Each structure stands twice: as structure tokens, then as C-alpha cells.
């Protein structure tokens, strides 16, 4: 079976990791796509786009249900969190070639670990200013934990559901699968920007487009510099945890 480079149509050696002509990484591209000449670029990233559309669809569906039924029970949020995690695991297993190295290394050693603290500090200061600004121009703040407290969930349960779980699975989804597929068709910095845009749209809150875009950039940079998902997971979960902690103890900082 002859395989072609999807970028330049050069005929590839058997089991080639890189194209001998244009030098692009072809290891992560399915052999089915390599059997077609002149593959359109969107076909190379269509699995990532479908994955994102499914996550977006779930978020849309559940916000619609919550709005239509005026539900104050967090059961729909829980179902959304659960289904998104399951779909992310399925896609991660299908893209294990790119996700596995990001989960088997912890890229920061010694003094470089300070980057995680710096990342968190940046997120904290930036979000503080951003949320204060939203308040200043008259937007209300978003409350993540209200329904959980109303239904008397123990603190640790919703702390895990709202900080650790999104910290793990959103990092695998956006800084793992989606980030990686976009590096197939562009430069790494372009992939960082694209996944940050997709990450900000996912949350479907107009007032958090900018903040989630910036958060996506920070997590993307951590992934680029460490070649690991763990630094982003730590900063992401830690930030969510701080928000939950402040809401729970009614500390009015943001």
C-alpha cells in the first residue's frame, strides 16, 4: 500500500515518522488519510473538531435543560461532567500516541517548578482584576456552587467535581488532544491560540470569553514548556478550588 505525505504528496517510506521531503511529522496521521493524495487540511484536524463539537453540544444541551426546567438540582451538571469525562477518555484512548507522552512525563524539575507557582499567581491576579472589572461595569458574578450547597453536597464532593475533574479532563481534551492535532497543520504557537479560542467558546458565557481565552493560553504555554499535562492540571484545579473555597466560606474577594 503506497502512502503519501498529506502535506506535500511525497511518497512515504514504510512506517515513516517524518516526511523525507517536507520534514513534517506524519506519525500521528492515520494511514487511511495517507493513502489519499492531497488531503485537505481540515481533514487532518476533523477528529479534534468533532470532539470539540460533541463537548460543546453537551454543554449546550444541559444548559438548555437547566434553563427550561428551571432546575436547581445539580444532577444535570453532574451528568454533563460525567459524560464529558467519558467522551474525553474515549478520544484520549483513540489518540493515545499523542496523549500518553504528556501523561508519562512531569516536565518540570528543580527550579523550573517555580513556573507552576508563577502560572498560578498570574491566573489569580489576572482573574481577580477581570472579575473586579466585570463587577465594576455591572455584570453579576457567576456562582458555581450554589446548587450544590442547596442540595447539601459535602464540600469535598463538589470540590472534586468542580475543580479536580475539570482540571484533569479539560487539560487532556484541550491541551492534549485538540492542541496536538492542530500542531499537525500549523506552528505550535498557532495551535496554542486555536485551542484557547475553542476552550473559551466551550464555556458559552459571553462574559468569560476573554478570561477563558487567557486561561487557555496560560495552560497551553505550560504544556508547551513542560511537554506535560500535569503543570496545567495543577494550576487549573488549584484556580477552580480557590473559587469554590471562597464561595463556600463566603469570602467576598472577586
Q: Is 5 in the site for Zn ion (CB under 5 A)?
A: yes
Considering only 3, 4, 19, 95, the residue that binds Zn ion (CB under 5 A) is 19
Q: 138: alpha, beta or left, given left = phi > 0 and alpha = psi -120 to 50?
A: left
Measured from the CB atom, the residue of 13 and 112 that comes closer to Zn ion is 13
Q: Is 123 in the site for Zn ion (CB under 5 A)?
A: no
Q: Is 10 in the site for Zn ion (CB under 5 A)?
A: yes
- The burial class, CB within 10 Å (0-12 / 13-18 / 19+), for 201 is middle
CA 175 from chain center: how many Å? 5
CB of residue 177 to Zn ion, shortest distance in Å: 23
Residue 242 CA to residue 254 CA, distance in Å, equals 11
CB of residue 209 to Zn ion, shortest distance in Å: 36
The single residue listed with the C-alpha cell 470569553 is 209
CA 123 from chain center: how many Å? 16
Q: Is 234 in the site for Zn ion (CB under 5 A)?
A: no
Measured from the CB atom, the residue of 25 and 190 that comes closer to Zn ion is 25
C-alpha distances in Å from residue 206, one per residue of 62, 126, 194, 200, 203: 17, 18, 18, 9, 9
Q: Is 21 in the site for Zn ion (CB under 5 A)?
A: yes
Measured from the CB atom, the residue of 36 and 53 that comes closer to Zn ion is 36
Contact stretch for Zn ion (CB under 5 A) within 9-17, 118-126, 187-195, 234-242: 9-17
Positions that interact with Zn ion (CB under 5 A): 5, 7-8, 10, 19, 21-22
Amino acid at each position: 500500500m503506497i502512502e503519501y505525505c498529506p502535506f506535500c504528496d511525497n511518497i512515504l517510506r514504510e512506517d515513516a515518522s517524518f516526511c523525507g521531503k517536507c520534514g513534517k511529522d506524519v506519525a500521528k496521521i492515520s494511514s487511511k488519510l495517507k493513502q489519499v493524495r492531497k488531503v485537505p487540511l481540515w481533514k487532518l484536524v476533523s477528529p479534534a473538531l468533532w470532539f470539540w463539537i460533541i463537548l460543546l453540544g453537551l454543554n449546550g444541551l444541559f444548559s438548555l435543560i437547566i434553563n427550561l426546567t428551571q432546575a436547581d438540582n445539580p444532577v444535570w451538571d453532574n451528568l454533563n461532567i460525567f459524560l464529558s469525562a467519558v467522551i474525553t477518555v474515549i478520544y484520549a484512548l483513540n489518540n493515545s500516541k499523542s496523549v500518553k507522552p504528556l501523561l508519562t512525563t512531569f516536565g518540570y524539575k528543580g527550579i523550573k517548578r517555580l513556573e507552576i507557582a508563577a502560572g498560578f499567581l498570574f491566573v489569580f491576579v489576572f482573574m481577580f482584576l477581570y472579575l473586579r472589572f466585570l463587577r465594576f461595569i455591572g455584570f453579576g458574578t457567576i456562582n458555581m456552587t450554589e446548587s450544590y450547597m442547596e442540595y447539601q453536597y459535602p464540600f469535598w464532593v463538589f470540590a472534586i467535581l468542580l475543580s479536580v475533574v475539570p482540571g484533569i479532563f479539560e487539560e487532556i481534551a484541550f491541551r492534549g488532544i485538540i492542541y496536538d492535532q492542530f500542531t499537525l497543520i500549523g506552528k505550535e504557537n498557532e495551535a496554542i491560540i486555536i485551542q484557547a479560542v475553542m476552550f473559551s467558546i466551550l464555556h458559552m458565557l459571553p462574559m468569560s470569553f476573554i478570561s477563558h481565552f487567557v486561561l487557555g493560553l496560560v495552560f497551553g504555554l505550560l504544556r508547551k514548556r513542560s511537554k506535560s499535562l500535569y503543570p496545567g492540571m495543577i494550576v487549573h484545579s488549584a484556580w477552580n478550588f480557590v473559587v469554590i473555597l471562597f464561595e463556600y466560606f463566603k469570602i467576598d474577594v472577586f
